[in-house]
Amino acid sequence: MYKGFLPVSRKEMDELGIEQFDFIYITGDAYVDHPSFGVAIITRLIEAMGFTIGIISQPDWHTDKDFKKFGSPKYAFLVTSGNIDSMVAHYTSAKRKRSEDAYTAGGIAGKRPDRAVIVYCQKIREYFGDIPIAIGGLEASLRRFAHYDYWDDNVRQSILVDSGADLLMYGMGEHQIQELCKRLSTGENIKNIHDIRGTCYLTEPVNTPIGSAQCPSYEQVRDNKKEYAKATKIQYDWQDEVYGKTIIQRHGNMMLVQNPPAYSLTTEELDYIYSLPYTRTYHPSYEAVGGVPGIEEVRFSITHNRGCFGYCNFCSIALHQGRRVTCRSEKSILEEAERITKMPDFKGYIHDVGGPTANFRSTSCEKQISKGLCMGKKCLAPKPCPALKVEHTEYMEILRKIRKIKGIKRVFIRSGIRYDYLMEDKSNEFIRELIKYHVSGQLKVAPEHCSAVVLDKMGKPHIEAYKAFQKRFYEITKGIGKEQYLVPYLMSSHPGSTLNEAIELAVFLKENKIRPEQVQDFYPTPGTISTCMFYTELDPYTMERVYVPKTPEEKAQQRALLQYFRPQNKEIVLKALRKAGRYDLIGTSPECLVDGDKNNNRKSGERNWQKKINSDSRTNRKKISQNTHGKPNRNTTTSHRNRKGKR
């Protein structure tokens, strides 16, 4: 019954004749054997190296039963929370408990603990004593330094300290796990393995490596927000596989040491990783409860690249997967597409051929290969770098060949297109084929906002790039006789966004006839530059003050403004507009966002006064837009900047 899957039960272990596993892998997710899941890649790689490995999925942390079912491993326990941070899995951006978990069988919430990596490691220590433990995955990776924790509203120590593990593997992990497994199998003590790239360890300060980049200590960043901002900049500046340094941060009487990042996998290495014998589905034991929801979107998808030089401030990729883009070969991708067509429930539709950014196939410029990515700079924002190398030919040829494979009806691209990069392509060939063959009625893109103030804090291009893409998209769509639409991802309450910026975005949406069905509140997840700004109210690269909307009331107002057209949002939008002094947007004229009523409007004298000062609405909006660049809005009755003090 379980043929093809790695063992998850004592019965399977016995059937295979294994007396003791070399490694035991504990994960906070349900077991899904698909290369979109990190657990599948790491465990298959360990198996391919000739080691035995057992998987303990979502152990019950209230008892010892699940933790002890395999006994102790020969070499080490490997621990991860799963595909995402366990706190993000459990709570919304409003800190409300989620009712579902896409990475659990049946979508059932509560199958893993909060701060899963810490809890699992503590249980292992309780039941097995001083046995080697290595941690990895997104939760460990992004919490490797002292970090602001949104749910505690406090700065926590490195997860390596709190978990009591021996070694932390950050990033994608293939190189690290291969070297670690080999060295443990030759008898090396995990407590002495301090030289693997892409790992962190704790040591006594006397053993600190010379020439390291030193961050302010845990105690300093906990007690001083300027020190926290300085630490964030150091951590990002030296996170490059070419010129990156060892980074250190003192925690009490111990020193946290982060070795330089692991080298990106070569094309040949990526091809090998994706050729491993994945079953591409969830373990059959989950069938009775309907399987694992998280696989539905990716089951018939293909990953063709890794890394992203887009480098958005709210994204964790730069600190985890890295900015350098590497890719698989055409042959490897086509072979995977062929394998997908032979799956019994394949209906002819490839859901995605993508990655962090679908239309990246190489580094953004030649210099990156030998000199690394520019420190503290972005390839695409606020404007594309003059050295940017734009190339879609190879990606386009791969898509063409996949479309020709027998049994494939359509190939979609759903993992995200960087339209600003696409617009730098002098040829219209790729965008035409994208619209003609790879869009299913809607193309999701991520302008995120329209205000230059907010976009600069996001590390995103200015809205002019989106406007140009929008124009070209609809021109081409109309030209080929299709009815297709852009669906923009938008974010409310990001650092830098005052109520004025939120109103500016609402007006932009109305003018462009965009009615977003979903809006994402900014979520301060561990380790990002935007989270640093949220916590410190400082830009770590300029040390300038940043306005941060934090109260539930203001965040609700900013979110509602982006969906001003919903009847249930009317009262909160009215309140926000009055607070900002934007009575010109209340009424029944085409420019207004919502209509008022006799009970809610100001008395007529005040209305006439407001009408007079807003006689030229376009000029007025321009002034207000200018005011968002640090000047208080003189038409605002209760300016947020005034309420918060000098900025």
CA angle 610, 616, 619 (to 5 degrees): 110
**Whether residue 191 is found in the same domain as residue 87:** yes
Res 448: pLDDT: 97
DSSP 518-548: --EEP---TT-HHHHHHHHSB-TTT--B---
Asked whether residue 447 is assigned to any structural domain, the reply reads yes
Q: Does residue 417 sit in helix, strand or coil? A: coil
pLDDT at 345 over 80: yes
**Whether residue 569 is found in the same domain as residue 427:** no
**Whether residue 147 is found in the same domain as residue 37:** yes
CB of 117 within 8 A of CB of 139? yes
pLDDT, tens digit (0-9, with 9 covering 90-100), for 439-491: 988 999 999 999 999 999 999 999 999 999 999 999 999 999 999 999 999 99
Q: With cut-offs at 50, 70 and 90, classify the pLDDT of residue 643.
A: very low
* Average predicted confidence (pLDDT) for the chain: 92
Q: Which of 4-13, 335-344, 602-611 is the least confident region?
A: 602-611
Across residues 183-199, what is the average pLDDT?
98
Q: What's this model's pTM, rounded to 2 decimal places?
A: 0.90
Res 416: pLDDT: 86
CB of 314 within 8 A of CB of 522? yes
Res 440: pLDDT: 86
- Which DSSP category does 491 fall into? E
* Domain termination site, one of 201, 227, 247: 201
Across residues 91-107, what is the average pLDDT?
96
Asked whether residue 271 is assigned to any structural domain, the reply reads no
Asked whether residue 312 is assigned to any structural domain, the reply reads yes
Asked whether residue 129 is assigned to any structural domain, the reply reads yes
**Whether residue 544 is found in the same domain as residue 635:** yes
**Whether residue 388 is found in the same domain as residue 524:** no
Across residues 401-425, what is the average pLDDT?
96
**Whether residue 479 is found in the same domain as residue 412:** no
CB of 530 within 8 A of CB of 540? no
Residues 6+ apart with CB under 8 A from 433: 396, 399, 400
Measured over the CA atoms of residue 538, residue 539, residue 543 and residue 547, the dihedral's sign is negative
DSSP 331-381: HHHHHHHHHHHTSTT--SEE-EEESSSTT--S-SSTHHHHH-SPTT--SSS
Whole-number Å distance between alpha carbons of 494 and 449: 9
Number of domains the chain is built from:
3
Res 398: pLDDT: 98
- Which DSSP category does 517 fall into? S
Q: Name the H helices within 191-307.
A: 218-223, 225-237, 267-273
Residues 6+ apart with CB under 8 A from 222: 146, 154, 155, 228
Quick one: what percent of the chain has pLDDT higher than 70?
Answer: 92
* Domain termination site, one of 146, 176, 201: 201
Q: With cut-offs at 50, 70 and 90, classify the pLDDT of residue 622.
A: very low
Res 518: pLDDT: 84
Res 517: pLDDT: 86
pLDDT, tens digit (0-9, with 9 covering 90-100), for 252-271: 999 999 999 999 999 999 99
**Whether residue 378 is found in the same domain as residue 464:** no
Quick one: what percent of the chain has pLDDT higher than 90?
Answer: 90
Res 2: pLDDT: 40
Res 140: pLDDT: 98
Across residues 160-183, what is the average pLDDT?
98
Res 630: pLDDT: 35
- Provide the CATH number for the domain around residue 164: 3.40.50.2300
- Provide the CATH number for the domain around residue 402: 3.30.750.210
Asked whether residue 497 is assigned to any structural domain, the reply reads yes
- Provide the CATH number for the domain around residue 534: 3.30.750.200
Asked whether residue 273 is assigned to any structural domain, the reply reads no
**Whether residue 333 is found in the same domain as residue 413:** yes
What are the tokens at 474?
């609809």
**Whether residue 478 is found in the same domain as residue 461:** yes
Q: With cut-offs at 50, 70 and 90, classify the pLDDT of residue 646.
A: very low
- Domain span at residue 478? 441-647
**Whether residue 487 is found in the same domain as residue 579:** yes
pLDDT, tens digit (0-9, with 9 covering 90-100), for 281-328: 999 999 999 999 999 989 999 999 999 999 999 999 999 999 999 999
* Domain termination site, one of 413, 440, 467: 440
Res 596: pLDDT: 82
CB of 547 within 8 A of CB of 498? yes
Whole-number Å distance between alpha carbons of 213 and 245: 6
**Whether residue 36 is found in the same domain as residue 154:** yes
Whole-number Å distance between alpha carbons of 391 and 389: 6
pLDDT, tens digit (0-9, with 9 covering 90-100), for 483-505: 999 999 999 999 999 999 999 99
**Whether residue 464 is found in the same domain as residue 530:** yes
pLDDT, tens digit (0-9, with 9 covering 90-100), for 582-612: 999 999 999 999 998 644 444 433 444 344 4
